[in-house]
């Protein structure tokens, strides 16, 4: 109905307590809250204070008891192992209860942290829900991160136990996880007491007893554990995301607000009904995986898909259509990069033919800017609405979207549409004044943020305030820049910090620079995100060598590429670097990364007035030309 969105959004901001207490009726509570929103300690806000619930109960037991026991809760579809496995709600509940018992038997209790370093196997989902069941706090670390990143998270989260697997499987290669885990534990100051290891048949690993326990043995020895009531404000999980340094930020998610908004978002943002099949083609190591592979579909009584494969190459660019048809997917959520890869391999969409996509209704894209060409291709080939929506690890759920469950608004390519109810999204100029429509500024959200968004950073309240709430008092700084148009449509254009988006994965160029700078022959360096046809952006390194560097430049380049892979992980996709004589800087010594990026991307640039020596820009352009930049993007 026309105007429904506008009215709902306005109400969510005018009466947030009324709005969210109504949404909270969608969740089973052990104890009703005393206060919907506790705003007594700004800028810290808490939702559903005094309330008690269990997230795992709401994801599983509730549906088993409510008539969905035999409905599929989770379908594991793994082209890389040639496996499809279905878990009904009852089967998943039983497996989770058992594993929760195993966690408990191995010393994990309420409030303890558990790190999960897992490939895309059902046991990853089981372990997440098992933590939720006993009130433990999980922290999933994406499998593409290196041991060093895992060690950083071990030290920050100080887990009692780690759950991992013998290996992950990437197309064409097996990735042994256990050596990475062993190395991380060796390097970390904090040592977990136990590791529960899933032995995958594709490659088993040796266990270090008594620290390491075999998954099967741990489960066999355990009794099922019941759901434990936790406070709505207790943490459900910590998810680390790139900050502006090598030290990642531990985003905290609470139990109550998270359950309420995720359930609400399924109907209102995604327009999905309980019983339907929802597929987020992401990884459980990212926020999209937490929210829309695991929690939201299960909270809503849907069937969730866990896909261990890629959009292309497993076996071909028709893989997504096969999964949609085989499992009757109604809604797919993925990153634009997946569609760019599919379009590259199958430009005419020939592989769509022969797959029954009649139940497929909507495609949602997020994680990076959706370029109009990719959107148009997807619309033309799939003949379903393609909806760009915008959010981040910190928000945990969409901040801007075309909320098709409320009212389908006009689509404007290049825009993720408008603020989702609960989010008061504004654009501010450098003085903190609201920008005029069309003028680019910092995208911020007025406090308080809605339920489900980060209440703080793990053990780092001050960093939370400094990083997000200080630049624009009264507002949360998203780190994105963009504008609102005359109709209130949001356009997200770039980051205001050093974060780049590589194949929808969020990475810090600052963290990569820290690694490059650690090479003994590197005097100075800069890493920028250069435009890439498939991945959106890829990192590109520029190195200035120390005089008398021991090795030739090609060797140093090879070494720094290997170093980033070793310290951060293959997911960084850091493959290109070059040696330059000097880096362009302002007179105060700030490296002009933005200008280097423009040169790499073939955009117009002018030497900033503050530049130390404009001639350096020509040198950089020449060095990048030798590397094939700017690349011609279609
Ligand atoms: N464990 C170990 N290694 C991993 C990994 C994991 N879980 N995930 C990725 N990697 C490795 C890859 O094997 C690759 O290694 P390589 O340099 O040896 O080739 C590297 O990390 C980069 O991986 P990826 O970003 O997946 O790039 P790709 O070239 O293998 O595939 C796409 C490109 C576009 C097909 C792929 O990025 C993709 O499917 N993207 C979908 C986007 C997505 O899921 N985004 C999540 C947020 S919604
Ligand atoms: P992550 O925390 O990994 O989910 O990354 C969040 C960041 O990805 C955001 O802050 C944006 O920079 C970017 N992003 C996510 N969705 C979109 C979108 N729809 N359009 C543009 N950028 C996006």
77 part of a folded domain: yes
Distance CA 523, CA 518 (A): 9
The answer as to whether 461 is a domain residue is no
Average pLDDT for the chain: 96
For 39-43, 285-289, 431-435, 604-608, which range has the lowest pLDDT when averaged over its residues? Answer: 604-608
Ligand whose nearest atom lies closest to the CA of 402: 2
Do residues 134 and 40 both lie within one domain?
yes
* 622 falls within a domain: yes
- Nearest residue CA, atom 17 of ligand 1? 570
Q: Tell me if residue 219 falls in helix, strand or coil.
A: helix
121 within some domain: yes
Span 108-136, average pLDDT: 98
Q: What percent of the chain has pLDDT over 70?
A: 99
Longest dimension (CA), the chain: 73
Q: 397 and 518 share a domain? A: no
For residue 456, being part of any structural domain is answered with no
Tokens of 301: 């009584």
505 and 590 housed in the same domain: yes
pLDDT at 253: 98
Is 207 part of a structural domain of the chain? yes
Q: What is the pLDDT of residue 10?
A: 98
Question: Contact, 561 vs 577, CB < 8 A?
Answer: yes
Strand-strand pairing, 386-388 and 400-401: unpaired
Looking at the CA of 564, name the nearest ligand.
Answer: 1
Q: Is residue 279 part of a domain?
A: yes
Ligand nearest, relative to CA of residue 397: 2
Residue with tokens 């005094």, as numbered in its chain: 50
Domain final position from 430, 446, 462: 446
Q: Are residues 243 and 137 in the same domain?
A: yes
pLDDT of residue 247: 83
What are the two backbone dihedrals, phi and then psi, of residue 383, each rounded to the nearest 5 degrees? 60, 40
Q: Could you give the C-alpha distances from 256 to 169, 427, 485, in angstroms and in order?
A: 35, 29, 34
Per residue in 314-358, pLDDT (tens digit) is 999 999 999 999 999 999 999 999 999 999 999 999 999 999 999
pLDDT attached to residue 632? 72
Burial classification of residue 358, based on how many CB atoms lie within 10 Å of its CB (0-12 exposed, 13-18 middle, 19 or more buried):
exposed
CATH number, position 93: 3.40.50.12780
Same-domain check for residues 434 and 505 = no
- Quote the pLDDT of residue 289: 98
Q: What is the pLDDT of residue 66?
A: 98
Structure tokens at 200: 């995958």
Shared domain check, 80 and 195: yes
Domain count, the chain: 2
Atom of ligand 1 nearest to the CA of 334: 48
**Kind and range of the H or E element at 262?**
helix 256-268
Which neighbouring-strand residues pair with 475? 446
Give the model's confidence band at 1: pLDDT under 50 very low, under 70 low, under 90 confident, else very high: low
* pLDDT at 245 (0 to 100): 67
Note down the domain range covering 573: 499-626
Are residues 437 and 586 located together in one domain of the fold? Answer: no
Whether residue 484 lies inside any domain: the answer is no
Same-domain status, 239 and 303? yes
Do the Cβ atoms of 121 and 348 come closer than 8 Å?
no
CATH code, 610:
3.30.300.30
Taking the C-alpha atoms of residue 123 and residue 117, their distance in angstroms, rounded to an integer, is: 11
Query: What pLDDT shows up at residue 540?
Result: 98
Mean pLDDT of 147-160: 97
Specify whether 532 is located in the same domain as 399: no
pLDDT, one tens digit per residue, over 31-75 is: 999 999 999 999 999 999 999 999 999 999 999 999 999 999 999
Residue 484's pLDDT is what? 98
Q: Which of 294, 337, 534, 536 to mutate to test the pocket of ligand 1 (most atoms within 8 A of CB)?
A: 337
Strand partners, 173: 170
Clarify whether residues 138 and 208 are in a common domain: yes
Q: Average pLDDT in the 490-503 region?
A: 93
String of DSSP letters for 402-456: --TTT-PPPP-TT---EEPTT--EEEE-TTSPBPPTT--EEEEEESSPPTTS-S-
- C-beta of 250 in contact with ligand 2 (< 6 A): no
Q: Cα separation of 155 and 184, whole Å?
A: 10
Mutate to test the pocket of ligand 2, among 335, 364, 392 (most ligand atoms within 8 A of CB): 392
pLDDT at 418: 98
């Amino acid at each position: 109905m026309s105007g429904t969105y506008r009215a709902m959004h306005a109400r969510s901001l005018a009466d947030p307590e009324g709005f969210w207490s109504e949404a909270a009726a969608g969740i089973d509570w052990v104890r009703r809250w005393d206060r919907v929103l506790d705003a007594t300690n700004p800028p810290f806000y808490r939702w559903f204070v005094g309330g008690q619930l269990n997230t795992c109960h709401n994801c599983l037991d509730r549906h088993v008891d409510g008539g969905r026991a035999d409905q599929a809760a989770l379908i594991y579809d793994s082209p890389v192992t040639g496996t499809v496995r279905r878990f009904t709600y009852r089967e998943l509940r039983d497996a989770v209860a058992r594993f929760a018992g195993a966690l408990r038997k191995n010393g994990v209790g309420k409030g303890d942290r558990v790190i999960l370093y897992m490939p895309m196997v059902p046991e990853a989902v089981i372990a997440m829900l098992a933590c939720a069941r006993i009130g433990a706090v999980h922290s999933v670390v994406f499998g593409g991160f290196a041991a060093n990143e895992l060690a950083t998270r071990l030290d920050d989260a100080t887990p009692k136990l780690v759950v991992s697997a013998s290996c992950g499987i990437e197309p064409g290669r097996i990735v042994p996880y256990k050596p990475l885990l062993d190395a991380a534990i060796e390097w970390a100051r904090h040592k977990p007491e136990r590791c529960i290891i899933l032995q995958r048949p594709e490659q088993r690993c040796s266990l270090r007893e008594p620290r390491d326990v075999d998954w099967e043995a741990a489960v066999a020895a355990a009794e099922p554990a019941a759901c434990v009531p936790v406070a709505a404000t207790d943490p459900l999980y910590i998810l680390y995301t790139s900050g502006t340094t090598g030290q990642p930020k531990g985003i905290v998610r609470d139990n109550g607000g998270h359950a309420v908004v995720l359930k609400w978002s399924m109907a209102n943002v995604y327009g999905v009904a309980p019983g339907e099949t929802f597929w987020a083609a992401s990884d459980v190591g990212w926020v999209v995986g937490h929210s829309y592979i695991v929690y939201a579909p299960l909270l809503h009584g849907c069937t969730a898909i866990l896909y261990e494969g890629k959009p292309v190459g497993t076996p071909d660019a028709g893989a997504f259509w096969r999964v949609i048809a085989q499992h009757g997917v109604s809604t797919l959520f993925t990153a634009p990069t997946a569609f760019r890869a599919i379009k590259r391999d199958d430009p005419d969409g020939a592989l769509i033919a022969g797959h029954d996509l009649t139940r497929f209704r909507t495609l949602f894209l997020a994680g990076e800017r959706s370029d109009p060409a990719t959107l148009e291709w997807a619309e033309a080939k799939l003949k379903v609405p393609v909806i760009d929506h915008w959010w981040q690890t910190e928000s945990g759920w969409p901040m801007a979207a075309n909320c098709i469950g409320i009212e389908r608004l006009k689509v404007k390519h290049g825009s993720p549409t408008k603020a989702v109810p609960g989010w008061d999204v504004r654009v501010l100029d450098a003085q903190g004044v609201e920008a005029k429509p069309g003028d680019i500024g910092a995208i911020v959200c007025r406090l308080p943020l809605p339920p489900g968004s980060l209440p703080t950073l793990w053990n780092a309240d001050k960093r939370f305030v400094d990083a997000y709430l200080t630049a624009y008092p009264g507002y949360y700084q998203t780190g994105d820049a963009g504008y609102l148009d005359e109709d209130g449509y949001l356009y997200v254009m770039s980051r205001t910090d050093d974060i780049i988006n590589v194949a929808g994965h969020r990475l810090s160029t600052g963290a990569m620079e820290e690694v490059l700078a650690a090479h003994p022959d590197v005097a100075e360096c800069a890493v920028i995100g250069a435009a890439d046809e498939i991945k959106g952006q890829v990192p590109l390194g520029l190195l200035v060598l120390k005089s008398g560097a021991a090795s030739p430049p090609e060797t140093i380049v090879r070494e720094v590429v290997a170093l980033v892979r070793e310290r951060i992980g293959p997911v960084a996709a850091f493959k290109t670097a070059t040696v330059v004589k000097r880096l362009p800087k302002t007179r105060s010594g700030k490296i002009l990364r933005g200008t280097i990026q423009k040169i790499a991307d073939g955009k117009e640039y002018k030497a900033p007035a503050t530049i130390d020596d404009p001639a350096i820009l020509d040198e950089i352009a020449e060095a990048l030309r030798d590397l094939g930049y700017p690349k011609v993007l279609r």
